Amino acid sequence: MIDLYTAATPNGWKASITLEELGLPYTVHSIDLSSGDQKKKPFTDINPNGRIPAIIDRANGDFAVFESGAIMIYLAEKAGRLLPTDVKGRSRVIQWLMFQMGGVGPMMGQANVFTRYFPEQLPSVIERYRREGRRLFEVLDGHLADREYLAGDYSIADIANWSWVHIYEWPGIDIAGLKNLTRWLDAIATRPAVQKGRAIPPREQHPDRMVQSARKMLA
């Protein structure tokens, strides 16, 4: 059994979607980010960095794993799916996983902050992150021109990138003209495991409360 400590964010969805795709049994522990639970014990005993998601694998000596990408690799290797075992295939998947972790996630995250949550509007900053987000989307679009998924078969690389890219409207990043990216987004969104994982845990739906909670975390 896996204990999943998470919240309704793209990084959280990376873990829950992976668990759903792999069919691994897990228990959800929802972390209230607006209350700062991620910065307090007992969560910091699992992840000293105070960020979600994190897991504890009860079947492996209560082994704790933090950092969303590390969690995805751990789970895929545990189940023997969504990550090839051959050297080249494994490397291709991890390259595109790192593309999300080092590029798409940070740039979209900053676009989210300055578009929605920052107490003052800084147009040049917002444009900088939106423009870089669009550039990264164009990289994905070009790569998907002659392939169905990012690294061969459907993998944790697709889950990681989809979890972020599909919220493009929230930070205001334009995907007009990116037909390959749009096709890929739509195809992954139809997967039952993606739909289940995307709904874990239930997200606070009222936009004003979401913004207030995020601003509280920035204070």
Domain boundaries of the chain, sorted by first residue: 2-81, 87-196
pLDDT band at 96 (very low <50, low <70, confident <90, very high): very high
Query: Residue 80 is encoded by which pair of tokens?
Result: 């023997």
Which pLDDT tens digit goes with each residue over 73-88? Answer: 999 999 999 999 999 9
What's the rounded mean pLDDT across residues 115-139? Answer: 92
What's the rounded mean pLDDT across residues 115-125? Answer: 87
Q: Do 2-81 and 87-196 fold alike per CATH?
A: no
Task: Please report, rounded to a whole number, the percentage of residues in the chain having pLDDT higher than 90.
Answer: 86
Contact assessment for residue 2 and residue 58, using Cβ atoms and an 8 Å cutoff:
yes
Q: Which pLDDT value is given to residue 182?
A: 98
Whether the pLDDT of residue 39 is over 60: the answer is yes
User: Global pTM?
Assistant: 0.92
Q: Which pLDDT value is given to residue 213?
A: 52
- What's the CATH architecture for 2-81? 3-Layer(aba) Sandwich (3.40)
Question: Class of 87-196 per CATH?
Answer: mainly alpha
52 alpha carbon, distance to own chain's centre: 10
The whole-angstrom separation of Cα 219 and Cα 210 is 15
Q: Which pLDDT value is given to residue 123?
A: 85
What's the rounded mean pLDDT across residues 97-107? Answer: 97
184 alpha carbon, distance to own chain's centre: 16
Which pLDDT tens digit goes with each residue over 44-62? Answer: 999 999 999 999 999 999 9
Contact assessment for residue 73 and residue 83, using Cβ atoms and an 8 Å cutoff:
yes
Whether the pLDDT of residue 210 is over 90: the answer is no
The whole-angstrom separation of Cα 136 and Cα 171 is 14
Give me the helix-helix angle, 68-79 and 87-99, nearest 10°.
150
Q: Which pLDDT value is given to residue 206?
A: 44
Whether the pLDDT of residue 212 is over 70: the answer is no
Whether the pLDDT of residue 94 is over 80: the answer is yes
Across 125-129, 169-173, 184-188, 200-204, least confident range: 200-204
**What residues pair up with 29 in beta bridges, in sequence order?**
5
What's the rounded mean pLDDT across residues 88-100? Answer: 98
The letter for the amino acid at 67 is E
Contact assessment for residue 150 and residue 161, using Cβ atoms and an 8 Å cutoff:
yes
Whether the pLDDT of residue 191 is over 70: the answer is yes
